[in-house]
Structure formats: structure tokens, C-alpha cells
Amino acid sequence: MTFVIVGSVAPFDRLIRAADALAAEYPHEHWFAQIGDGAYLPTNMEYVRFMAKPEFDLRLAGSDKLIGHAGMGTISTALGLGKPLLVMPRDPERGEHVDDHQIATAEYFAGAGHVLAAAEAHELGSAYLELSTFDPVPRTPTPAKVAQRIGQFLSTFESRRSTTRQ
Amino acid sequence: MSSDRRQASSPVRFCVGASAGGHTSQLLSLLENDGGWPISPTVCVTTLDILRSQFEKIGPTTVIGECNRKQPVAAVAVFIRALRFVLAERPDVLVTTGAMPLALVAIWVKVFGGAVVWIDSVARIRSMSLSGRLVRRFADLTLVQWPHLADETEGIEYVGQLL
């Protein structure tokens, strides 16, 4: 199954429209989309607007290809499962986000081999062909280091508090 | 009502919060890797109802709604809900991974004497978020997730990446 994800914050009709066109081109493939508050309703794939985490995880488990916006939630989910993901960054010029940070995210993560990226709708088709054989480079984040620094802060904060209380 | 509950639980009212999507993923990644912090989160704040069940595993959760800099009316509503939340819970410390709604919570936490830890999103590669650039002016600890964004003179630290 190809699972198309726009995230829970904002719609992304340009992506859904392009994915819907691909779904028409590849009808033998099972398509499912999460479209948010989008105005465009797909005609060639099943869709829901939003999903709670358990249902989202079930859909993910049943997918072998992912297409999504270039949000970190979507990217890290795909990398965590080792699933191939094709991203299209939200474009602020088209009102799809407040600024261009998804463009930078798509460039960096595609450059590092973690995801495939298509900036424009007309590039989605050729990138999709690569997706079935795309083997994402695993990413190794370092959350424990961040947690350690926060823990250090919380310790000084805790002792500061007890001192002021005495 | 809430003061009784506070005294019964941890003496430090420790709030964690995040907006939807990657912000929540980053906060959960942090909490899964805490490795024995001296205090545990006592209360949560997030922005969408569909996230409530994920946050309630950590603690009692308040939903304040989403907004961004292009939605001034929504932002005012979120700012007011953030104030109500902070008045009700009076966090001693807030740890957040953004975004703008949590920057608004951070302002109130600071106004009422709490400490603020801001972790700018890993999605911010070229520059810090607008919210991060605002909050770092009063935050007690500001972290970025890309080494080139760290700034020693400004006290902006890089120590690692959550996602």
C-alpha cells in the first residue's frame, strides 16, 4: 500500500492532487491518504482527514511506500520504520506554510539519502517510480544527549528551588 | 482544588508541551530518553484534541489549539487559553519543543515566575524558528538541534538531535 500523509496541522492540496493523479496511473496499487482539512477530495484513493495514533500506526504497518509533506513527524516516522518515503516540501509562496523550512528539510534529508524528494507536482511521478527500490539511509539521532543536558538543567533548577525555600 | 493536588504530588510543578506533528514526536523522544531526571513531568499542554491520548500517558493534559504567525485571531485565542492554563497550573518549569502556541505558553510561564527550556525543532536547519528567536530572549535554557545554529555568546547550545 502507498500511504499519503499531510500531517495534522494544515492541508496540502497540491500534494493530494498530485498523489491522486498517480493513483489513477497506478490503479493496481492500493492507495490510502490522510488529507487534513484539504478542499480537494481524492477520487482515486481512499482517504480520511485525520487519524488518531493507533489507526495511523496500523496504516503505516500496512504500507510499503510513503508519500508525505516534508514534516519532521512524517520523516522520523518513516525512518524509524525503515520505510521508503517520498516528500514534497510545503511552499510558503503558495501559502502552504509560514516559511520555507520544509524546503531546507527536504533538501537536507534527500541529500543525506534518508528520503526522496520532489519539489513540484510534475516531479512526483518519476520520484515515485524510484520509491519501490529506494533503501533509506538510517538516521541516528541522539536524544539521550539532549535529555542529559535537560536533566542537568533540571538538577540545578531543583537545588536552586530547595535553597530558596529554606 | 489544584493546590491540594500539587502538594500531594511532586513539589516541582513540571510542565512539558508541544504542538502537533514533529514537535510532539521530538518531545516524546526526549521523554523516552530521560535516563532518570531528578523530577518528572506533572502536567502537559498540547494543541490538538487528537494528541490528547498520547499526552495523557504522561500527565493531565490541556489542549490550547493551534496557531501560527499568519493567523492573528487564532493566536490571540491561543494566548488567552495559554494564560488560563498557566494560571491554573502555575508551572515552575516548562520544557517544550515548540512551536508558536508553546512560545505563547512560555511567555506566561515566565511572567508568573517559572523557568523555560526551549528546544528549537530539528526541522529548523537554516535558522532558528521565529518562536525560538523570541523565546531565547527570556528562556533559561535554549537548545538548537544543528551545530551551526549554536551561538555561545547568545547562550544557544547544541548538544544533540531528538529525531
ipTM: 0.92
pLDDT score of A156? 84
> Would the CB atoms of A104 and B69 count as touching at under 8 Å?
no
- Any chain A CB within 8 A of the CB of B163? yes
Query: Å from A75 to nearest chain B CA?
Result: 9
Instruction: State pLDDT tens for residues B49-88.
Output: 999 999 999 999 999 999 999 999 999 999 999 999 999 9
The answer to whether residue B40 neighbours chain A at the CB level (below 8 Å) is: no
Supply the pLDDT for residue A157. 72
- Residue A56 CA to residue A36 CA, distance in Å, equals 13
CA B19 to each of CA A5, A9, A86: distance values in angstroms, whole numbers, following the listed order: 17, 9, 24
Among chain A, residues having any CB pair with chain B shorter than 8 Å are 7-9, 50-53, 71-77, 98-99, 101-102, 104-105, 108, 141-151, 153-155, 157-158, 161
Distance from CA of B114 to the nearest CA of A (A): 10
Omega cis (within 30) before B99: yes
User: Chain A contacts of B93, Cβ < 8 Å?
Assistant: 154, 157
* Inter-residue contact A124 to A118 (CB < 8 Å): yes
Sheet holding B14-18, edge to edge: B61-63, B43-46, B14-18, B93-96, B115-119, B141-144, B156-158
Q: How far apart are CA B6 and CA B130, in angstroms?
A: 33
Interface test with A, best of B46, B126, B127, B133 (most A CBs within 10 A): B126
Shortest alpha-carbon distance between residue A28 and chain B (Å): 31
The amino acid at residue B24 is T
* Mean pLDDT, chain B, integer: 93
- What is the share, in percent, of chain B residues with pLDDT greater than 70? 94
| Cβ–Cβ gap B123/A101 under 8 Å | yes
Whether residue A146 and residue B12 make contact (CB cut-off 8 A), yes or no, is no
Contact A9 B66 (CB under 8 A): yes
Query: Shortest CB distance from B34 goes to which of A53, A101, A147?
Result: A147
Residues of B within 8 A of A141 (CB-CB) are: 29, 122, 160-163
User: Which of A119-133, A152-166, B49-63, B144-158 is predicted with the least confidence, judged by mean pLDDT?
Assistant: A152-166
Contact between chains at B38 and A142 (C-beta distance less than 8 A): no
Residue-wise pLDDT for A74-126, tens only, equals 999 999 999 999 999 999 999 999 999 999 999 999 999 999 999 999 999 99
How many CB pairs (< 8 A) connect A and B? 138
